[in-house]
A and B are shown apart, each in its own frame.
Chain A
């Protein structure tokens, strides 16, 4: 089955984000692929690897999450695939919880967040980001 990583949502995904219930808690599953070498959009010099740059974002984002009542459930390096096959396996997985999509949007629009986001853009080759409604099966 085909799968493709991206760094930004496309138009229909952005529109979909605003539809329906924007007020209930959500969780975001991130499947992340890092660049080998970090590349900042503002062209600054750097020796960082993609993963190192993204990790700066990762450390800073816990603050931004806390500000809107969200938090990280876990984040970790992928060791291997135990079941299934993926042609180009991601590097890491992280899950973040938000009190609502509205809160997530607040975070994304905060200028402090956008400063941190530069490290994300510098380090991330691409990802899947899957919205989940938490709860027992």
Chain B
């Protein structure tokens, strides 16, 4: 009985501690770029509504390209990624998707970012099914080798495509 009560007190203390130390704060925030989605992100994507959406890609390139198959290369990370970007327009068109914006990051006007991204690229997909079809096709996977070779990491933010302008 005593052990049970002690356990209960410890757990209550822990819960109290957690509630008071994970409160929302805008004082500091952090982010981590990645090359691939996590299993949880893949699951979330699969379970979402199947309607059109925008993908906002914030990209950081490697200094030197590094291919997974170990091939020799003098390309920079950006050059390797650019091969992928050029090839991907055809893959996108095949599933009815299209690039709607791309550009090189110049500077931060508001806010602080420890390591500012290199490029921003935005794509509209007609549906998740379309994105999935593209991402699993042979030709796309061939092009993707250049993406992996050049990309240090990125954020990929999914936006609702309600109309030209809404929040």
Contacts and interface: CB of A to CB of B under 8 A. Distances in A.
A43 interface: no
A68 interface: no
B25 to A, nearest CB: 8
Interface of B: 24, 26, 28-37, 41, 44-45, 48, 53-56, 58, 78, 81-82, 85-86, 100-117, 119-122, 153-162, 164-167
A87 B155 CA distance: 12
Interface string A5-35: 1111100010011000000001111011110
Given A74-B122, A85-B32, A132-B105, 10 more contacts: A3-B114, A4-B112, A5-B26, A80-B158, A82-B156, A83-B36, A94-B165, A129-B109, A130-B107, A135-B104
Contact of B31 (A55, A85, A137): A85
B26 A130 contact: no
Interface string A62-89: 1000000000111111111111111110
Interface residues of A, number: 61
A126 B100 contact: no
A129 B120 CA distance: 12
A73 B123 CA distance: 12
Nearest to B121: A137
B132 to A, nearest CB: 12
A80 B44 contact: yes
A131 B107 contact: yes
A118 to B, nearest CB: 17
A29 B162 CA distance: 18
B167 A1 contact: no
Contacts of B85: 136-137
Contacts of A91: 167
Contact of B28 (A2, A54, A90): A2
A134 interface: yes
Contacts of B103: 27, 132-135
Given A91-B167, A130-B120, A83 B155 contact: yes
B64 to A, nearest CB: 17
Contacts of B157: 78, 80-82, 90, 93
Given A6-B112, A13-B109, A86-B155, A74 B54 contact: yes
